[in-house]
Chain A
Amino acid sequence: MRYFVRKIGFFVLTLWAVVTLNFLIPRLQPGDPAELMVQNLAGKNAQLNRAQVEAMRDLLGAPSGSLLSQYWNYLVQLIHGNLGVSYTYFPYTVAEVIGKAFWWTVILVGTVQVLSFAIGILLGAFAAWRRNSRFDTSVTVISTFVGTLQPFWIALLLIYGLGYGLGWFPTAGGYQASTPGFNGAFVYDAMSHAFLPALTLMIVTPIGWILGMRNTMIMNLGEDYIRLARAKGLPDRMIALRYAARNALLPSVAGFALALGGILGGTILVETVFDYPGLGRLMGEAVGIKDYPLLQGLMLLTAVATLLANLIADLLYGILDPRARRAAA
């Protein structure tokens, strides 16, 4: 039980740290980002009402007022779910803009993450089990090389090859012909648009799992309990799964959420290249136009999402590894 309490405690503390970091970043900048936003919006003929200006000041910093009172106002805004208005998409609020893009990314990244975890674990475990076989060597060499490729570059190559070259898949956007809604035509349309971004990520993300799983599994295969399992004359499949893989899986589970942070980074670039209507492209866009409210909102959201995923992975780890529960006690 102590283990779980500790992990939830860590989650709360990191959540606080992230929220505070998000508060500090715009305030540490030279100049006045809030004022800049208000002026820029005015320049776009988009007048903010009083409440919106105030929210902008609470979120991005005010020239007056103590840091402490600013911090308080900032927290109040967050608790009300108010992330301000987007400069780019005015009059939409940041929350609305993010809300629209949210599911595009969650579905893409979620599918990729789960699939690549499964594939990576299986390939890594199998390569380790057949260590130094041709399969192992090719998996290791290919993974090492592919793992160093930059996702956005792969994206560009895929666009060139499968998109323009062969014309099999659309190369930009999230959908085209149909209108959004839950119907066959739209789902097909969306999936064909998502294919290349997903493929790009699927090329890169399993690599970490493959190599990580292979290494821990190789180390575990040298342990006494594996030798004892062999001496017991158990079937190979049982030794591989119940003894070796079961133990080797643990560090991978612990690393699941950390990898998510990395994937989100890759997604920003890949979505930008494919013009895919998710959070990543939004971030790329926000950076280009200096849409600070949107940028801060996205930073906060991705960080919180990663923390949550980390919490879930930690809790899962506690269930999978009986030692963890005690070590923390």
Chain B
Amino acid sequence: MALLDVRDLSIRYEPKQRAAVDAVSHLSFSIDDGEFVGLIGESGSGKTTVGMAVLRLLERPGRISGGSITFDGTDIAHLSQDELRKYRWREISTVFQSSMNSLNPVTRVEAQFADVIQCHTALRGREVTERIRTLFDMVLIDPKFMTAFPHELSGGMRQRINLALALAIGPRFVVLDEPTTGLDVVVQHSILENVRRLQAELGFAVLFISHDLGTVLDLSDRTMVMYAGKIVEEQATRQLLREPLHPYTKGLLGSYGDPRAETVRITYVPGRPPDLAHRPGGCAFAARCPERIDGCTELEPAETEIGDGLVACHVAAIQRGAADNTTGAEVGPAIRTFAGPQFVKSAAESAEAVRGRPLVTVDNVSKTYVRRQGLRAVRTEAVTGASFVLRRGGVTALVGQSGSGKSTIARMITGVDAPTSGQITFHGSDGDQVVARMRGRRLRSYRGSVQMVFQDPYSALNPTKTLGATLARPLINFQHLHGTQLRDRVIDLLETVALSPGGRFVNRYPHELSGGQRQRVVIARALAVEPELIVADEPISSLDVSIRAEVLELFDKLVHERSVGILYITHDLLSARMLCDEVVVLNEGKVVEQGPSLDVIRSPQDDYTRLLLDAIPNPFAATRD
């Protein structure tokens, strides 16, 4: 018998002011003792809602509207909070999404272990302290931090402590909800290693919820893929990698490429998930699906067993003989890859770009910040002796973790900050220019050549302005356009970034667009002044994986068609390889390695680069051998 058995679970959100939403509908899965099961989904898929329901922590306006959650033979879906208490933490515990807020900010960490240990066990006094000490050892944290307050710990430490806390009473089942999202790759990697080791040692079962395909596939025995409130595919992870059944799964897998390959191909899923308040008839994915047949938009696909797995897809079922082709539509042979748009980056084009003329020369640049703290001056060296070159028609990645100094370099290149020593030269079309801290008119005219694309497209567009108004600003300021000329140019820009027909987008507000579309608008705004250099700060990291390549492709097109230079700032070597010709690796303010992307990734010379490379989850390693 399964440890956890979820049958036909439906969860409904019923806000007073808006229409009710079925965030999860008729969902079934089970988890065996000691099994590690992953649940992948993109934002809005309902994955976190499922986790909360299993923990029975759903809050208003959400509620379980149907189905059962059987834990160890008892249906816990409808138990009262009092009856649930004997399951909580002793049987089922959890680690929430990494955030400052899972620990009570005003009490010491130790007390937050002690209360739950004393609540559920007979341990008291010294025994409790001993137990906490053991738990700290388990997650490799010095027990001296027991008496710390949460804010005194780093994000990584807090998340380890949360893990230790989850294991405090030795539960049989742990829900990990995005436990490492937002942490640096290296920290993320080491925490997940820790999870993997402890799970093997202690044998608890895990439901691992994440949007990050790489980590889920890397860790889980079995993987479930969620889309629009339903599980669309469930297979043993190895099998899923070898033969994905659902087109959406193929799309997700397609968004990963092997960075070591000569030519990287990644696909993306165009469009956006459906609004669950107005769920379309038929398959929810049909509108974005390249393998769609006629029946897909009419009849909702049932979960079909194929081999050891399950899939909810008409096409997959027909292809594998698990269902009859009643509509008589043409169904091709089963394929492994996503048949949608793809983005290709070959080593050859990079080799050519590396020969481009220099656009910016960064020569032995250092930056020291002096912060006053009372009477003392605290000096922080953010960047030390960095040298590299950005080229016209080329993309250079600046790779490093947070605090590596990459944002400081971006600030200096965009003229917001001046180097303490060394020199940055911009080889613009109207002659060379030394970039130092600029103000007023000079800074303004420099921005006619250097523009930025931001990390979070939700924050980079003013929610109170229409796209037209946003795009008009640089055109008015730099090109002094007005009237119909201005309008034509705005529409032009929208169409350049594939928001067409442009006329239809001019009067839209940002909230009406998907994340990918918003990022296109941000790029369009940067293009308005026809810049020579674009600094892109993590432009895809806040987008859902299935649409990332859509933005990368747009960048790539710009480089080729307009021969702008792009500085791509990222913590992620994988995406750097997909887009960039050259890579500069930054660690603690120093450039530790630079060179053509493929060379750096295939034969890293520096230890730190290797560390970064190792931290990239590589689910495909398992299928390769």
Contacts and interface: CB of A to CB of B under 8 A. Distances in A.
- The answer to A–B direct touch (Cβ < 8 A) is yes
Interface string B58-98: 01000000000000000000000100111111101110110
Nearest to B95: A228
A247 B104 contact: yes
A229 interface: yes
Interface string B492-511: 00000000000000000000
A243 B104 contact: yes
B105 A225 contact: yes
Contact of B149 (A222, A223, A236, A322): A322
Given A228-B96, A231-B55, A322 B151 contact: yes
Given A228-B96, A232-B88, A233-B87, A322 B106 contact: yes
Interface in A226-258: 227-236, 238, 242-243, 246-247, 250
A134 interface: no
A321 B106 contact: yes
Nearest to A2: B374
Contacts of A236: 81
Contacts of B373: 329
B115 A225 contact: no
A235 B106 contact: no
B106 A320 contact: yes
Nearest to A250: B106
Contact of A228 (B102, B151, B374): B102
Contact of B119 (A227, A230, A232, A321): A232
B116 A227 contact: no
B497 to A, nearest CB: 37
Contacts of A222: 59
A225 B149 contact: no
Contacts of A321: 106
Given A227-B57, A228-B96, A323-B151, A235 B119 contact: yes
Interface string A169-192: 000000000000000000000000
Contacts of A223: 101
Contacts of A100: none
A222 B89 CA distance: 20
B120 interface: yes
A238 B118 CA distance: 12
A225 B101 contact: yes
Interface residues of A, number: 27
Contacts of A230: 57, 88
Most buried by B among A235, A236, A242, A322: A322
A231 B115 contact: no
DSSP class of B's interface residues: helix, strand, loop or mixed? loop
A234 B115 contact: yes
Contact of A231 (B89, B103, B106, B119): B89
A246 B104 CA distance: 10
A94 B86 CA distance: 68
A238 B88 CA distance: 15
A252 B94 CA distance: 32
A324 to B, nearest CB: 10
A148 to B, nearest CB: 25
A4 to B, nearest CB: 13
B99 interface: yes
A247 B89 CA distance: 23
B103 A225 contact: yes
Contacts of B84: 233
Interface string A285-329: 000000000000000000000000000000000001111001001
A227 B85 CA distance: 14
A236 B373 CA distance: 43
B151 A231 contact: no
A175 to B, nearest CB: 45
B104 A229 contact: yes
Contacts of A322: 105-106, 149, 151
Interface of A: 2, 222-225, 227-236, 238, 242-243, 246-247, 250, 320-323, 326, 329
30 contacts: A2-B374, A224-B101, A224-B102, A225-B103, A225-B105, A227-B59, A228-B102, A230-B88, A231-B55, A231-B57, A231-B89, A231-B92, A231-B94, A232-B88, A232-B119, A233-B84, A233-B86, A233-B88, A238-B115, A238-B119, A242-B107, A242-B115, A246-B107, A247-B105, A250-B106, A320-B106, A322-B105, A322-B149, A323-B149, A326-B152
Interface of B: 55, 57, 59, 81, 84-90, 92-94, 96-97, 99, 101-107, 115-116, 119-120, 149, 151-152, 373-374
Given A238-B115, A329-B373, 14 more contacts: A2-B374, A222-B59, A224-B102, A225-B101, A227-B57, A228-B96, A231-B55, A231-B88, A231-B93, A231-B94, A233-B90, A233-B116, A247-B104, A321-B106
Q: Which 5 A-B pairs have the closest CB atoms?
A: A233-B88, A224-B101, A322-B149, A232-B116, A233-B85
